Amino acid sequence: MKIRENIPIASLTTMRLGGPAKYVVEIEKPEDIPEAYSFASERKLPVFVLGGGANTLGHDEGFDGVLIMNKLRGIDIDAHEDGSATVHAMGGEVWDDLVAATCEANLTGIEALSKIPGTVGAAPVQNIGAYGQDVSQVLVNVEVFDTADSTFKTLSAADLGFAYRKSILNSSEYGRYFVIAATFELKTGQMTRPFYKSLERYIAENNETDFSPAAIRRMVSAIRADKLPDPAFIPSAGSFFKNVYLDDARAAECEAAGFPVYHGSDGNKINSGWLIEQAGLSGKVLHGFRVNEKAALVLINDSAESYADLAAARQEIIDTVYAKFGFKLEQEPVEIA
């Protein structure tokens, strides 16, 4: 276990905002976890678990507590005779490295989640998803440390109460569990068409005929590279707003009015990026944040240095979209507080 003091949150998060964290503790083996929480408890300090920092926002005043970072490593793929495979990955692994490994093994299930920044441990917390796939569809269980009774446990996918960008890990049981590892059930084969609209458009424009996991990964990676800034080089927090979900009646009304409503296995939704574009905000710079021209869900930190700037930009976007369409956007990134 490594312990550092007074580390700028801006250096640990991809939006590059945030003052110093009093302590940063790096977990290198499961036995470190209870020790890290004891370290915080002895000092009567709050704890925040930080993954890759891509979906997380820091505040100007910093964090007078302990940031715990998951550095647990390891990926194991156990192929079965029926074509399925059990994939076990430690929580500190980079999510995209796991996707790459499964695609190399010709396994389908998470290939459309290529290039999503963050760690394996963070993936089930938010139930990450893209292009018609999400973690809840393939997750078997997560191994966790339960801070309520200081024990190690295994929670099944059913235990996690998955919904759109939601699980008990970021809602009703927020802060209770530290994700040590995750197990997925994948299979050989490929995704079934029709795919998500932007992926189908790429296929048509590029005359693609191979839909193997590796090919879908290549296509999704190309789409994301064209639309989304790499947070390693351009400060952003990934998708900043959640998509808008509608009941069937509201979805029918919106379609009749010409709104592009997507009907997926998880329900009816309108892409919030489309709403932001139609509100005339694409490319606008608001309080130092630029609304990405090619993917309006992404806010790029061009020149802002404070959380106050972010809060002002966020509110301006929310107010503008609400005034035009009557939909209130919700922020996706979590905040260190």
Residues 6+ apart with CB under 8 A from 202: 208, 219, 222, 223
Cα gap 296→298, rounded to integer Å? 5
- Is residue 134 within 8 A of residue 160, CB to CB? The reply is no
As beta bridge partners, residue 141 has 156, 183
Handedness of CA 95, 96, 97, 102 (dihedral sign): positive
Backbone φ/ψ region at 226: left (φ over 0), alpha (ψ -120 to 50), beta: alpha
Phi, psi at 319, each rounded to 5°: -65, -40
Q: Is 165 a catalytic residue?
A: yes
Q: Is 332 a catalytic residue?
A: yes
- Is residue 95 within 8 A of residue 117, CB to CB? The reply is yes
DSSP 152-165: EEEEETGGG--BTT
The encoded tokens of residue 62 equal 């910093």
Handedness of CA 319, 324, 328, 332 (dihedral sign): negative
In the chain, the amino acid numbered 15 is: M
Q: Is the N-terminal amide bond of 194 cis, ω within 30° of 0?
A: yes
- Is residue 88 within 8 A of residue 107, CB to CB? The reply is no
How far is residue 271 from each of residues 182, 213, 244, 276, 292, measured CA to CA in Å?
Answer: 29, 25, 7, 9, 15
The encoded tokens of residue 74 equal 């390891």
List 111, 239, 290, 314, catalytic entry:
239
Q: Is 212 a catalytic residue?
A: no
CB atoms within 10 A of CB 264: 14
List 165, 224, 290, 314, catalytic entry:
165
Write out the catalytic residue numbers: 165, 239, 332
